[in-house]
Amino acid sequence: MPQMERTFVMVKPDGVQRQLAGKIIGAFERRGLKIVGLKLLRITPELAGRHYAEHRDKPFFQGLVDFITSGPVVAMVLEGKDCIAMVREMMGATDPQKAAPATIRGRYGIDIGRNLVHGSDSPASAGREIALFFGNEELLDYDLGIHKWIYE
C-alpha cells in the first residue's frame, strides 16, 4: 500500500457559477484520486479570514474575501499517493494566464482573481485546511474498488 496523503480542494464561486464543478471534480476522479469528503457551502467572512490568514496583509486580501464569500463553493478532501503536490500541478499556476494549457486554471481561467480552484500547498496547510472545513465524521474511510488498477 503506497503512502497516502490527503489534501483540501475547493471549487471557488466562479467555478460553481460557471457550472464547472463537475468537470473540476471529474479531473481529480479520472486521475485516480479518492473523494473522502465533499460538500457545497457558502463561506462566511470569518471562515474566509481564517482560511486565507497568510494573505491578511496583502493588497488583494479584501477582494479575495469578497470573492470567496460571494457564492457557494464545493469543498472536498481528496486522498492519494503524493496528492498534495499532484493537485497543485493539476491546478496550474495561480495566474491562469501563466498556467499550462492542460491544467484546470490554464484550461478555464483568465484572471488571477477568478482562478476557479484552491488546493493546499503543503502537508501543514492540508492538515490545517481540512480541519477548518470538515469534521472527522464528515471524512469517510472506505475502499475504492479500482485501487489495484491505479496503484501497483
Is 103 an interacting residue with respect to ligand UDP (CB under 6 A)?
Answer: no
Which 3-state string (H, E, C) describes 29-74?
Answer: HHHCCEEEEEEEECCCHHHHHHHCHHHCCCCCHHHHHHHHCCCCEE
Residues 59-78 as x/- pattern, contact with ligand UDP by CB under 6 A: -x---x--------------
Q: Please, which contacts does 100-107 make with residues 24 or more away whose CB atoms are closer than 8 Å? A: 104/24, 104/27
Is 7 an interacting residue with respect to ligand UDP (CB under 6 A)?
Answer: no
Give the interface segment with ligand UDP, choosing from 23-31, 34-42, 110-118, 127-135 (CB under 6 A). Answer: 110-118
Q: In whole angstroms, what is the distance from residue 96 CA to residue 113 CA? A: 9
**Shortest approach of Mg ion to residue 118 CB, angstroms?**
7
151 binds, among Mg ion, ligand UDP, none (CB under 5 to 8 A by kind): none
**Shortest approach of ligand UDP to residue 19 CB, angstroms?**
19
